[in-house]
Amino acid sequence: MNLPNKLTIMRIIMSIFIIFLLLFPFQTAGINMPTLFVNESIVIDIKYIIAGVLFIVASLTDFFDGYIARKYNLVTDFGKLLDAIADKVLVNSVLIILSAQGFIHPIIPVVVIIRDSIVNSIKMIAASKGKVVAAIKSGKVKTACLMVGIILTLFYNLPFEFYNVRVADFLLFVAAALSIISGIQYYVLNRHLLFEDK
């Protein structure tokens, strides 16, 4: 259990805590979470701010575990698997919850999860044939838009909400569009692996 894997496990634990925080029925349990009033027009449930801070920290562990693993030659098959699971638990679960609670359009998690399933299948097929599917630029930009969009949504689109500019929604829809584009690109670039024998 090297340091990158410990960071990945920490991300999974933080993801579970974020899920719990966003889904736990505090009012039903008789727990009153603090509410903030911003500019007399924006009502903020503090649990989303806490979840946003935790999401940022968890996202940083995603960067550092990969960086440390590559720099110190600590990359392992177990680490790759664990990292992929941690990413999906963190991002996809929060997308689903935000959609269910009316913060984002349902099409966003649907597109992102379908795309991830297809791309992961391509990667698994390639790996079974001893090939590595490299990350592509559109996929990286998609991830960046997705992460920033989620963070802004958890922070109630502040400070852009003051100017009635829906930056969070825009970034998430861009991420959904890039999910489709990058998914097609992954297929086109690797379709030869899907139909050839080992």
List all residues 6 or more positions away from 135 whose beta carbon is below 8 Å from its beta carbon: none
pLDDT tens-digit series, residues 47-57: 999 999 999 99
User: Domain 1-103 sits in which CATH superfamily?
Assistant: CDP-alcohol phosphotransferase transmembrane (TM) domain (1.20.120.1760)
List all residues 6 or more positions away from 74 whose beta carbon is below 8 Å from its beta carbon: 2, 3, 4, 68
Domain range list for the chain: 1-103, 105-198
> How do the residues of the chain divide into helix, strand and coil, expressed in percent and rounded to 5?
70, 5, 25
pLDDT tens-digit series, residues 117-159: 999 999 888 888 888 787 899 999 999 999 999 999 999 999 9
pLDDT for 196 beyond 80: no
pLDDT for 80 beyond 90: no
CB-count burial class (<10 Å; 0-12, 13-18, 19+) for 126? middle
In this prediction, residue 138 carries a pLDDT of 94
Taking alpha carbons only, the member of 171, 180, 13 closest to residue 89 is 13
